[in-house]
Amino acid sequence: MITGLGAVTPLANDAETSWSRLLAGESGAGPITQFDHVDYPVHFACELKEFDPTQWIDRKAARRMDRFAQMILAAARQAETDSGIDIAKEPDRVGASIATGIGGLRSFQDCYDVLKERGPDRVSPFSIPSIIPNMGAGWVSIELGTKGPLMSECTACAASNMAIGDALDAIRIGRADAMIAGGTEAPVTAVGIAGFDSMRALSRRNDDPAKASRPFDQARDGLVMGEAGAVLVLEELGHAQARGAKIYAELVGYGVSSDAAHMTEPDPTGENPARAMTMAFDDAGVDTSEIGYVNAHATSTPLGDASETRVLKLALGEENARKTPISSTKGSTGHCFGAAGAVEAVFTVLAVRDRKLPPTINYEAADPDCDLDYIPNEARDAPDIEVACSNSFGFGGHNACIVVRRFAD
């Protein structure tokens, strides 16, 4: 059961406001504020707005953390409060599964700059704990007091979905009664922008950042880098009911596969990502005809979005794929890498709760290679939705899909 949600996203610093702005078709893109970008070919990103970590974290502790850890702690605190769970009552039965694709990229860059400019004696003793990817999970456990399973996926852009799936499995096999599950990423740094742009992965629409992320649109030219932290509180049904918790939805399925194909490009056949979706449907015990919404991974890259269209046809079947509403919320949030799956899981849960499907914004011209129903530009009512799924695919061939069902008391 999903009993709590928390998120800091480029749309807002909480889950519900992020959701309402997503439904309104807003974009989180704007000029980069975190470093001087004048000499860089890309001048914009989807950053958090007015994010103050000390709203959720002690000021001294916050100074010892990279931004990616600050963001996941903010989201975790929100989700803990939202769920009403009292972790201190049974800390050994509550765990954390927190993902990131990169980890402390800003701290790594800062550490190298100090080493180069001031020498090895001036490198901070907090540098390594700030950089290593597992410290998002570590800080959540330390600050919230969880003493159950502690896991940290680092599987590129599939990491959050895998972290959520790991948390589901931990509850299913009895290692925990509740799990704090999600992901975080803070990649908007000089090296992050330079590195991804050198791969030709980023959109260069500097003249109109709000229109730059345009999943499935014929004129898409690359992703927009985003940052975020998002968390779901997962609980075993009896545990949630015993304490009278509100239940947003059920997490009922998880599937995972690998491409074994290419370092960065998707599986050209589409068969392996489709297999992850099929595994998730089988795990959930649902037929493809029951899927009422797909939150697509689609990042606004020419190759990736066309590939996912093929994947959806394989997994859902051609006829069902054409009937199923699909959207990519990355048009609004940008691509938040290791946090993307968690942010999109929150949105998928809220779509099922509210029976409202978020739009794919900036969709203006159809691409013959992307010929499904992508909920263009305006949110859509879905009064009959019961089941939805969310895809995440990552560099290296990592594929993951989760399935959510509307909860019936």
Residues with Cβ within 8 Å of 312's Cβ and at least 6 positions away in sequence, in order, are 274, 277, 294, 296, 321, 324, 326, 372
Q: Residue 131: enclosing H or E segment and its boundaries?
A: helix 127-131
| 370 classed as catalytic | no
CA angle 139, 143, 144 (to 5 degrees): 115
Identify the active-site residue in 37, 239, 297, 398: 297
Identify the active-site residue in 46, 335, 398, 401: 335
| 46 classed as catalytic | no
Identify the active-site residue in 157, 336, 370, 401: 157
| 336 classed as catalytic | no
How many Cβ atoms are within 10 Å of 238's Cβ, its own excluded? 9
CA distance 128 to 125: 7
SS3 readout for the chain: CEEEEEEECCCCCCHHHHHHHHHCCCCCCEECCCCCCCCCCCCEEECCCCCCHHHCCCHHHHHCCCHHHHHHHHHHHHHHHHHCCCHHHCHHHEEEEEECCCCCHHHHHHHHHHHHHHCHHHCCCCHHHHHCCCHHHHHHHHHHCCCCCEECCCCHHHHHHHHHHHHHHHHHCCCCCEEEEEEEECCCCHHHHHHHHHCCCECCCCCCHHHCCCCCECCCCCECEECEEEEEEEECHHHHHHCCCCCCEEEEEEEEEECCCCCCCCCCCCHHHHHHHHHHHHHHCCCHHHEEEEECCCCCCHHHHHHHHHHHHHHHCHHHHHHCCEECCHHHHCECHHHHHHHHHHHHHHHHHHCEECCECCCCCEECCECCCCCECCCEECCCCCEEEEEEEECCCEEEEEEEEECCC
Point out the residues that are catalytic.
157, 297, 335
